[in-house]
Structure 1
Amino acid sequence: MDRNEQVDRLLSKLSLREKIGQMLLCGLPGRELTEPLADFFRANPVGGIIYFARNVQHVGQVANLTYELQKVAQSANQLPHFISIDQEGGMVARIAEGITLFPGNMAIAAAGSTEDAYEAAFASGKELQALGINLNFAPVLDVNNNPLNPVIGVRSFGESPEVVAEYGANSIRGLQDAGVSAAAKHFPGHGDTAADSHLDLPVVPHDLTRMNQVELVPFIKAIDEGVDFIMSAHIYFPLLESDRKPATLSSSVLTGLLRQELGYQGVIMTDCMEMSAIVDTYGTVEASVMAIEAGADLILISHTHDLLTGAYEAIEKAVAEGRISEDRINESVRRLLDLKIKRGIMTEQGDFPAHTVTLPVIDREGLPARVGVQEHQDLARKISERSITLVRDEAGMLPLKKVRTLVVTVASSAMTIADEIIKDPCSLGTALIEQGFDVVHMSIPAAGVAEEATHVLEAARQAEVEQIIIATYNAHFYEEQSGLVKQLYALGKPLTVVATRNPYDLASFPEVQVYVAAYESRPLTMESIAKALLGLIPFQGTLPVSLGDEEKSNPTHV
């Protein structure tokens, strides 16, 4: 029996409610599958689960949670779940400890090898698979050509559509070769916005001609690559949609553009339907119906189970009233069932599909095997070290001289809901000390720069301090940070600025003579920065974006 026949047989056995459930993907409130929560899922069969940091204690717990979720579905004679996560790498990773945390997209592009994109995605996919996670909401295929974009930035491979397309395609291939579905996002493009759709409805004024030249290039490549999922963006494109609807709710975007013009045959899924761009316009429940009408196959409701049950009821009612045909529901469920069979999540045996539910493989230390292995750690370190980018050294400061140095680290902070707050912020000063360098180091919160500026300047003025390093974190969004950099520069002592997230910080203080871009502030990155500053490794990174007339990206660097 071929896969199409299997899908048809499975579909014929599902009730309408079960089919609607396959089109819903939801979150969990905590780290355990409590009995009331298990009862909820027995009564409300869903197509999948999404993990957030709130669901993660350690990798062993994640593996067991996955096992328990799939066992409950199996015992209730339900179809197995897509178990999904946003494990992009870099600053957006729901699991940050115990697993190999790879550099993010812009860092990988800066390192300059599309093979790195494949290898990182393949290794990450193998580790996710070991935890029972079979769907990763990655890669980000947005072309970040707007320095004021508050939500994409370093999550993008850069500003060149061709570079984003090549790196994205390799990431998709790596994940799916590892047996994990990839979800390219955020269609038709979230790169050229100055608003965050978690908080507002961004408007992008581009027409289809411009989008075919920029925003759609990576998605067309992803379709050619056979990406399993494409996630829609909650962004309004007035030249593509006459009504004020975000792309997620637009039939002209999802069906007309993505299905018909671009020929995509995979699963179209929504971004979270609890984001403000949806809640403040149509509301989660009504928008869930509208998304299906527009052409979406899978509806993501990440947080609130009351909204999930509301969506169930609203979709059932829409079918009963003829607003949505059952054939339309079947069309989406066929795609979802086909993928579950294709990716080995279930196999049809006997009267109903058999779950591939197995206990996680545990090593001698009681942790999931094949997760965080040395080979993968070495790969992450290699990419990280090659990503550190020397943008300019007009003062000839680097490598650093072995003199008394003040190192100021602006701690990372969550820019958007997509980010995860680092529990124990890492310091560039600490990383330099670990390399045996003599520093006075100060770490200040991104939101507390103004309060700490006086203390920083006092430390910088001390006679024994001969040079200064400041690690900024999105200073181009924070006037207090850029103001502090300018005050340090005005002291006349040799100053090095290291951007530990978006490289666009330089625009806020163009007079700075020594500038390094590092793209993220994870511990591994801080270690790589320290090594490069001290001359222990060469600067090898290339800017994936432009920083004005002098500092250009290299769009052919693929």
Structure 2
Amino acid sequence: MLGQKLVFGFHGKTLPEEFKNLLREYKIGNVILFLRNVESAEQLRALCAEIQSLVQEETGYPAFIIIDQEGGMVTRLPQDAVNVPGAMALAATADPENARLASEITIRQLRGLGANFNMAPVLDVNSNPANPVIGVRSFGDEAERVASLGCAAIAPYAGSGVLCCAKHFPGHGDTAVDSHLGLPRVDKMEEALEQLELIPFRRAIEAGVPAIMMSHVLFPNIEPEQVPCTMSRRMVTGLLKQKLGFRGLILTDCMEMGAIRDYYGTPEGVVASIKAGVDLAEISSAFDLELAAAKAVNEAAERGEFDVEEIRASVEKILCYKKMLAAQAEPGLCNQPEDRRAAESMARQAISQISGTPFRADENTFFCGCADYRASGAANADGSAVTFPEYMANAFGAEGFVTEKDPDAEEIRAALRQAENCEKIILGTCNGHLFRGQLALAGALAATGKPMAVAALRNPYDLSQIPETVWKLAAYDYAVPAFRALEDIFRGGKATGVCPVKLP
């Protein structure tokens, strides 16, 4: 039954034969999907059905079909399904019901497609503006707001046939390293976590969240063995299970992420996470690592390295939660017009004016900014196909100029030349506080003295480093719904959102 404790992913829009054989050999009970596996609603529905059929046939139980559908920056659904705004955008609407509504919409999409386990919401308090991986995925930098909105997002999942998962315990909001790429370290004591990071997780546990994901963060002042939370029995069993009293499913983040693969080894990390008390260990895509991990887990069991009673109880818990899953996809739930309208409305409500004097854009406006890019390992490999400057230039019949994500002096000079004959300037930034060439570009354009606006299309922290003469807006997402919302603002609409983080 060890295969029930493993979650594996794959590349491609159909199940590869070698992946099928791996599932058959080790009786793997669960599969995780990413945008790389998705082409359309019809294709995804067929893929989920094939996964369920294979896992049912090989294990006798349904599969958890897991997906990271947070909304906003982390979306995995096709264009003919409804993707909702992300957490920070929902918080910016200043309407707590939007967090609940976004979950209800997402549940309908997943029920309509056949996925049954959503790795959301993010309950990290984004207390570090330099955080490269959480940012707009968080409901904000105040624990109470994160807790309140997180619980609102969790509530609709109860009895829905779809599970949700709060992440990344005990908190990934105060890191300056992306755990997809390196090993984050937070030098806090447990008492400090109680004052901030643990508040949303405690509230979620009280609210009945069915699952919690561990973070790949090192807390050296709490865990003396110098292993990240995912592999720490002190954190998984001692803190989460025993001290906080959590009885639901405990998951790892992906074990092929750099924080585990490069520092501890993926197969070794999976074995350690199970020893720590984790219920479900996940590997996203690397077939060789999945095969090695499956072998390592079975060999560790044969050597008697696991607590047999603990493994039995964990598998029983997994199977108990599988009884709660929807039996089959209901296509009619997906991509309803009213859900699409509601998602667009939330994106519009989120637009926040930080400061400055509004103006209307027209054909004499110069639109500038970088294309979308993979801002962190959590984001999709391919960013938005539509760029902000091109969208706006097309909407207003104006000039658009697309830059690199970190424009150099030569590119800045080119942008200035392009802007010479315009009357107004609108720049879109995308985490310019991390790629400072964008801020240099903003400063150079502002120095022209022309009326100028800057829209932060991801983290709003960019705006604290923009000249005060500029009209500053936060949109929280590099996506077409946010572009449409900004277009309305630039045509004279009012920005009603309230930024949920403090700008330094």
Same fold (TM over 0.5): yes
1:347-496 aligned within 5 A: 356=327, 358=328, 360-361=329-330, 368-393=331-356, 396=357, 398-400=358-360, 402=362, 404-420=364-380, 421-428=382-389, 430-431=391-392, 433-434=394-395, 437-448=396-407, 450-462=409-421, 465-496=422-453
Matched, 1:542 2:498: yes
Report if aligned partners of 1:122, 1:178 keep a CA contact under 8 Å in 2. Answer: no
Q: What does residue 319 of structure 2 align with?
A: 337
Give the aligned partner of residue 551 of structure 1: none
CA distance in 1, matches of 2:305, 2:412: 60
- Computed over aligned residues only, the root mean square deviation of the Cα atoms, in angstroms, reads 1.7
Asked if structure 2 preserves the Cα contact closer than 8 Å seen for 1:402 and 1:438, the reply is: yes
Structure 2 letter corresponding to 1:488: L
- Looking at structure 2, the residues matched to 399 and 207 of structure 1 have their Cα atoms a distance apart, in angstroms, of 49
1:259-299 deviation per Cα after TM superposition (whole angstroms, max 9, x unaligned): 01100000111001111111122211111111111111110
| C-alpha distance in structure 1 between counterparts of 2:78 and 2:473, whole Å | 25
Q: Which moved more, 1:295-304 or 1:150-159?
A: 295-304
Larger radius of gyration: 1
Q: What amino acid is the match of 1:491? A: T
**Among 55, 58, 68, the residue aligned to 2:37:** 55
Q: In the comparison of the two structures, how many residue pairs are matched?
A: 503
- Structure 1 length-normalised TM: 0.87
Question: Unaligned 5+ residue runs, structure 2?
Answer: none
Describe how 1:55-454 pairs up with structure 2 within 5 A. 55-76=37-58, 78-344=60-326, 356=327, 358=328, 360-361=329-330, 368-393=331-356, 396=357, 398-400=358-360, 402=362, 404-420=364-380, 421-428=382-389, 430-431=391-392, 433-434=394-395, 437-448=396-407, 450-454=409-413
Contact 2:6 2:28 in 1 (8 A): yes
- Counterpart in the other structure of 2:9: 27
**Secondary structure, aligned partner of 1:342:** coil
Other structure's SS at 1:380 match: helix
3-state secondary structure, aligned to 2:31: strand
Q: 1:177 Cα shift?
A: 4.7
- CA positional deviation for 1:310: 2.3
1:77–1:477 CA distance, 2 compared to 1 (3 A) = closer
Verify: 1:515 aligned to 2:479, yes or no. Answer: no
Q: Provide the secondary structure at the position in 1 that maps to 2:301.
A: helix
CA distance in 2: counterparts of 1:241 and 1:178, whole angstroms = 37
Name the counterpart of 1:352.
none
Q: What CA distance in whole angstroms lies between the structure 2 residues aligned with 1:332 and 1:443?
A: 51
What is the one-letter code of the residue matched to 2:88?
A: M
Distance in 2 (CA, whole Å) between partners of 1:323 and 1:403 is 69
Of 423-432 and 55-64, more deviation after overlay is shown by: 423-432
For residue 300 of structure 1, give the secondary structure of its aligned residue in structure 2: strand
**Counterparts of 1:120 and 1:93, CA distance in 2:** 13
Once the two structures are TM-superposed, the CA of residue 425 in structure 1 deviates from its matched residue by 2.5
Cα pair distance change 1:286/1:333, threshold 3 Å? same
Q: Is the 1:429–1:439 Cα contact (8 Å) retained in structure 2?
A: no
Counterpart-to-counterpart distance in 1, 2:235 and 2:307: 20
1:154 Cα offset (Å): 0.3
Higher mean C-alpha displacement, 86-95 vs 416-425: 416-425
The aligned counterpart of 2:459 is 502
Superposed displacement of residue 438, structure 1: 4.6
Matched position secondary structure for 2:165: strand
Distance in 1, matches of 2:390 and 2:290, equals 46
Q: 1:77 to 1:207 in 2, by over 3 A?
A: closer
| Distance across 2 between alignment mates of 1:474 and 1:37 | 37
User: Whole-Å Cα distance in 2 between the matches of residues 128 and 298 of structure 1?
Assistant: 20
**Partner of 2:175: helix, strand, or coil?**
coil
Identify if the C-alpha distance between structure 1 residues 233 and 34 changes in structure 2 by more than 3 Å, giving closer, same or farther.
Answer: closer
Identity of aligned residues (%): 38
Q: Is the 8 A contact 2:355 2:471 kept in 1?
A: yes
Q: TM-score, normalised by structure 2?
A: 0.96
Alpha carbons of structure 1 residues 274 and 431: separation in structure 2 relative to 1, 3 Å: same
List 4+ stretches of structure 1 deviating above 4 A. 447-451
Q: Could you tell which deviates more after superposition, 241-250 or 308-317?
A: 308-317
- What secondary structure, in the 3-state scheme, does the structure 2 residue paired with 1:446 have? coil
Which whole-Å CA distance do the structure 2 matches of 1:265 and 1:487 have between them?
A: 55
Match for 2:405: what amino acid? A
CA contact (8 A) 1:428 1:527 kept: no
Aligned partner of 1:531 in structure 2 is 488
